[in-house]
Structure 1
């Protein structure tokens, strides 16, 4: 790497460590991305990329670099990450008054491809919910957890954080604290209520290690179950259902939302239930239901 360019990058990386408390992995990733940009300039423009050359680089040079990455087969996420590294680098140089120019000012980040969420079909979710052995305390807990996920669509962190005072099984709802400690009331279906009642009567008292513990879901040691514990539990049952399925606790949240949409739920209601701040976040489920609708149409319409 050119010594002048190298010294500027070194100053930038030192600031990441000192001021931003960045991890070594993060610092190494920035270093690799900035090194790739330098190599591109050397190979394609024969520029020295010292302080003066960085000063005169234009947005056309950045666009050429992005085109090079595209031709090399990088996906949009990788390109966006490399572009973010350059943005941060140039902001640092501007802030420290090392250069005045910023060729990224007119460059937009590539839009990431929207991935449709993974979810289970109704028959699959029924099979999954029937797997726990309800003759054991942990089986009762697992059934209650899975039913709660599917009935409410809550996040795994929200499920782990549930305390006994937050649930009201007589009225069939629970109070959930989402991102930013934002509170929302989430209804529970009859199957989830029954599973929770069974767990609270015959499962949780057996698991409970100390009386001063309000955590709803406990692990085998009798203390609050962790996010990792929930993930491992869900993965265990998914493997029993089908090894090929890539289903996580978050996929059960997607399943909840997708099934509501497929049965005609209003998008704004789904947004409220999921605790999404923006409607745009919820709109991914319209893509899922549209594809499902097209599939049904193709199968059933005589002239499809």
Structure 2
């Protein structure tokens, strides 16, 4: 960070400490914030602003305008604007600036695309195919089926799934305790098929690969350690790709699918928000659009006066 000058380098170091130690954010989130703020620092330095406290709203707007001219997507610009507002608010709150210059910064409206999902029939095909493959490889087969069933039943993120420990699973109540974004804990229910798949893995698959390094992890890799998120993603891609006609949406597609099927089955939006661990109900509302699109498609196909 030497090219930014001493003032900016110190601010970035202090901000990293704040995000890591005080806000206790995940390493991925911290990196994301720092990349965004470093981009602002480089832009400000090119403008001759070597003291972060000397920035104005024009500094922030010109930075976003430059990114837009470079072809950055609206969603990227919106996220970047949010990161800048968080940063300038911290500058003012911590006494490093007299004003919060980002308070008036508007976010470019991001175009929200509807998430792709699988139909209930497609999910049954995928799960039936995964079940049929257990006889050929009971260890990997039971694990992969447990992965698919849990992702679809709970809608949890991959990171939340791989972080599950044995005592996070209450099999009598059929719920799992997960640690989500911002280290917020929530409890998510799952159904009998997911319980059966999990029981099979814990009874047959896990004991076959467990080693002293396994600890209390629920899902394990072939060498006995806690399963890696990349392995989970590959499992999902492989299992979806093995069924003809089923879109390869990956693990996040199963999360979208779970949310959509909950709403289509009559779940209220607040309940789905709790299941998914969304901080804002607005994030969950996009799934109502998915359900509406399916309803319109069914109407067009089935109604004689559509």
TM-score by length of 2: 0.72
- State the Cα distance separating 1:288 from its structure 2 match: 0.7
Q: What pairs with 1:21-170 in structure 2 (closer than 5 Å)?
A: 21=16, 74-80=72-78, 83=81, 105-132=103-130, 133-135=133-135, 136-169=138-171
Moved more, 289-298 or 198-207: 198-207
Gaps of 5+ in 1: 1-6, 40-48
Gaps of 5+ in 2: 18-29
CA deviations 1:186-218 (Å, max 9, x no partner) are 332222222222222222221222498332212
Structure 1 residues 19 and 165 mapped into 2: Cα distance closer, same or farther (>3 Å)? Answer: closer
Q: Alignment partner of 2:200: what SS?
A: helix
Aligned residue for 1:178? Answer: 179
Structure 1 residues 242 and 178 mapped into 2: Cα distance closer, same or farther (>3 Å)? Answer: farther
Structure 1 residues 92 and 157 mapped into 2: Cα distance closer, same or farther (>3 Å)? Answer: closer
CA distance in 1, matches of 2:167, 2:61: 56
Q: What pairs with 1:198-237 in structure 2 (closer than 5 Å)?
A: 198-210=200-212, 213-237=215-239
Structure 1 residues 138 and 72 mapped into 2: Cα distance closer, same or farther (>3 Å)? Answer: closer
Structure 1 residues 295 and 63 mapped into 2: Cα distance closer, same or farther (>3 Å)? Answer: same
In the comparison of the two structures, how many residue pairs are matched? 284
- State the Cα distance separating 1:267 from its structure 2 match: 1.8
- State the Cα distance separating 1:110 from its structure 2 match: 1.6
Work out whether residues 160 and 179 of structure 2, in 8 Å CA contact, stay in contact via their aligned partners in 1.
Answer: yes
Match of 1:20 among 15, 36, 41: 15
Q: Alignment partner of 1:233: what SS?
A: helix
Work out whether residues 88 and 101 of structure 2, in 8 Å CA contact, stay in contact via their aligned partners in 1.
Answer: no
Work out whether residues 262 and 272 of structure 2, in 8 Å CA contact, stay in contact via their aligned partners in 1.
Answer: yes
Aligned residue for 2:24? Answer: none
Q: Alignment partner of 2:175: what SS?
A: strand
Match of 1:275 among 268, 274, 277: 277
Work out whether residues 77 and 108 of structure 2, in 8 Å CA contact, stay in contact via their aligned partners in 1.
Answer: yes
Aligned residue for 1:296? Answer: 298
Alignment RMSD:
4.2
CA distance in 2, matches of 1:239, 1:203: 23
Q: Alignment partner of 1:140: what SS?
A: helix
CA distance in 1, matches of 2:32, 2:156: 31
Work out whether residues 172 and 193 of structure 1, in 8 Å CA contact, stay in contact via their aligned partners in 2.
Answer: no
Moved more, 21-30 or 70-79: 21-30
Q: What pairs with 1:260-271 in structure 2 (closer than 5 Å)?
A: 260-271=262-273
CA distance in 1, matches of 2:201, 2:89: 56
Q: Alignment partner of 1:176: what SS?
A: strand
TM-score by length of 1: 0.72
CA deviations 1:62-87 (Å, max 9, x no partner) are 76886786677543234346656876
Matched, 1:239 2:237: no
Aligned residue for 1:42? Answer: none
Structure 1 residues 12 and 231 mapped into 2: Cα distance closer, same or farther (>3 Å)? Answer: farther
CA distance in 1, matches of 2:69, 2:236: 40
Work out whether residues 127 and 145 of structure 2, in 8 Å CA contact, stay in contact via their aligned partners in 1.
Answer: yes
